[in-house]
Amino acid sequence: MAPPPRKRRRVDGGGGNGGNYPLVATPNDGVLPVDLLNAVLLRLPARPACRLRAVCRPWRAVLSDPRFAAAHAARHPDPHLVVAACDRLDAGGIELVDVYLVGASGDVAKRVPAGRCDTDAVSSARDGVALLVGNDRRLRVLDAAASAAVSLVPDGEHHPINCSFTLGRAASSSGEHKVLRIGTVVHGEPQVCAVLTLAVAGGRGQNARWREAPSPPLVVRTRRGDVAVAGGVAYFLLRRAYLADWIAAFDLEAEQWRPALVGGPPLPAWRPTRPDRPRVTLAELGGSLVVAIDDHRAATLDLWFLLAAGDGEQHWSKQYTVTMPYHRRPWRCDGESAEPVVVLDDGRIVFWVWAGGGGGTRHGGGVMRVYDPITGGHTDVATAARCAHVGVYTGNLLSLVSE
């Protein structure tokens, strides 16, 4: 005798399941009740959850529902790292860059091939937009949040080798992505600047044009660790860092350099000729500008936050002193440093620790290290043999991960 046909109906999950999902809910057909299924799926990371879309149409409907995606993002608030790494070669032996979205546990949520790039000129923004400089010195934009897996928007201009690019987001309500191009100093001449607005998701970036911008008040550094973007302002270390005020600020909304330099936190006493002198880098954590002072000899990394007081005045506050276990020698290798990337909701700090050699790009790699300030312990969760840049992605992974 043939078994009775299976019955299907819509079930209102109610409560915290995010809405109505078309599920098989007949008691004797072996399918989980909608509330229990919803609770189980919400606990899964994005990558395995997206794979379960292939189980059946009802599960696909649940996992593709925007309301479920919003509930999943609220349950998994920790951001992901955007890691641009050189781990492959093409047929001609040219390095290829892949961009990874890596969770705080080290799990790779997504990998996007980016092709041939100048690994020393890869930049990224907090929301997962990566700026790539091709071997032909043309810009390309990789937007993880676009509908396509990868969105490459060329700006149509070949750039000289002696210039750098900084990608950031303006502080206005539109939140436009902008690129600041700075030409390096040639024979003592002022640095030449230009700004480009990117329509990343709208597809209009191909029509973007560069606009001239003022030169910085003093010569600024533009390499990794010398630049940070926070609150719509791009901050740069001055080349003459021994001045009283040694940080220059470029307002991305106004497209102007601020007339006043920023005085940094107090630096430890050191001689310029000392080989193990503290290394000073800039970062952005929690929307604030951070100065990281890496004293290799003391094996500590101090994190100073630029905070605003009630009267609007800004001041520096040292909020963390981290013991860095990569200090195993009385000297520092070229390029060896630790870069703070993001503070997780539970207070842990994610660092990218760069290995020695070539600034951690061509010849060195790095490790993703999660530091717990309460216990003082750390955990290494991911490594990259040749890492070019690390940024942060805070969007919804369910809309990004392929099945």
Q: Are residues 104 and 252 in the same domain?
A: yes
If one compares 180 and 330, the residue with the highest pLDDT of the two is 180
Residues 193-197: what's their mean pLDDT? Answer: 92
CA distance 270 to 267: 8
pLDDT of residue 200: 59
Mean pLDDT of 265-292: 79
How many angstroms separate the CA atoms of 288 and 318, rounded? 12
Task: Mark whether 310 and 266 lie in a shared domain.
Answer: yes
pLDDT on residue 120? 64
**381 vs 334: which has the higher pLDDT:** 381
Is the model's pLDDT at 189 over the cut of 60?
yes
* Separation in Å, CA 6 to CA 11, 60, 61, 62, 371: 15, 19, 19, 20, 52
Interacting residues of 27 by C-beta distance below 8 A, sequence separation 6+: none
Dihedral of CA atoms 270, 273, 277, 279 in degrees, nearest 10, equals: 110
Q: Which one is predicted more confidently, 60 or 213?
A: 213
Return the pLDDT at 272. Answer: 53
* Residue 17 in domain: no
Choosing from 44, 73, 102, the residue where a domain stops is 73
In this prediction, residue 12 carries a pLDDT of 40
Tell me whether residue 7 is in a domain. Answer: no
Split at pLDDT 50, 70, 90, the class of 237 is very high
342 and 203 housed in the same domain: yes
Q: Determine contact, residues 314/330, Cβ cutoff 8 Å.
A: no
Structure confidence at residue 102 (pLDDT): 82
Within a domain: residue 265? yes
Q: Which has the minimum average pLDDT: 48-52, 66-70, 97-101, 206-210?
A: 206-210
| Any domain includes 357 | yes
Flag whether 5 is in a domain. Answer: no
* Residues 197, 177 contacting (CB under 8 angstroms): yes
Domain total in the chain: 2
Instruction: Over range 28-52, report the average pLDDT.
Output: 75
Kindly indicate the confidence band of residue 215, based on its pLDDT and cuts at 50, 70 and 90: very high
Whether 177 and 275 map to the same domain: the answer is yes
361 and 387 together in one domain: yes
Domain presence at residue 18: no
Percent of the chain with pLDDT over 90: 17
Over residues 380-396, the mean pLDDT reads 75
- Give the residue with greater pLDDT, 351 vs 73: 351
Domain boundary at 73, 102, 134, which? Answer: 73
Residues 184, 121 contacting (CB under 8 angstroms): no
Instruction: Identify the CATH number of the domain in which residue 312 sits.
Output: 2.120.10.30
pLDDT at 33 over 90: no
- What is the distance between the alpha carbons of residues 339 and 248, in angstroms, rounded to a whole number? 20
Cα 355 to Cα 103, 272, 362, 384, distances in angstroms: 21, 23, 11, 10
Q: Do 58 and 166 share a domain, yes or no? A: no
- 325 and 378 share one domain: yes
Q: Which residue's entry shows tokens 């981290």? A: 322
Q: Same structural domain for residues 49 and 101?
A: no
Read off the pLDDT of each residue in 269-288 and give the average, rounded to a whole number.
Answer: 75
Same domain, 378 and 265: yes
Q: In the predicted model, is pLDDT for residue 379 greater than 80?
A: yes
Are the CB atoms for 289 and 282 separated by under 8 Å? Answer: yes
What is the residue range of 52's domain? 36-73
Domain-embedded: residue 31: no
- Whether residues 141 and 58 share a domain: the answer is no
Residue 257 shares a structural domain with residue 238: yes
Pair (42, 96) in one structural domain? no
Give the integer Cα–Cα distance in Å for 223 and 91. 30
pLDDT band at 148 (very low <50, low <70, confident <90, very high): low
Q: How confident is the model at residue 401, as a pLDDT? A: 55
The answer to whether residue 192 sits within a structural domain is yes
Digit-coded pLDDT (tens) for 159-179: 888 888 999 888 876 778 899
Q: Which helix (H) or strand (E) holds 314?
A: strand 314-323
> Where is the domain boundary, 22, 47, 73?
73
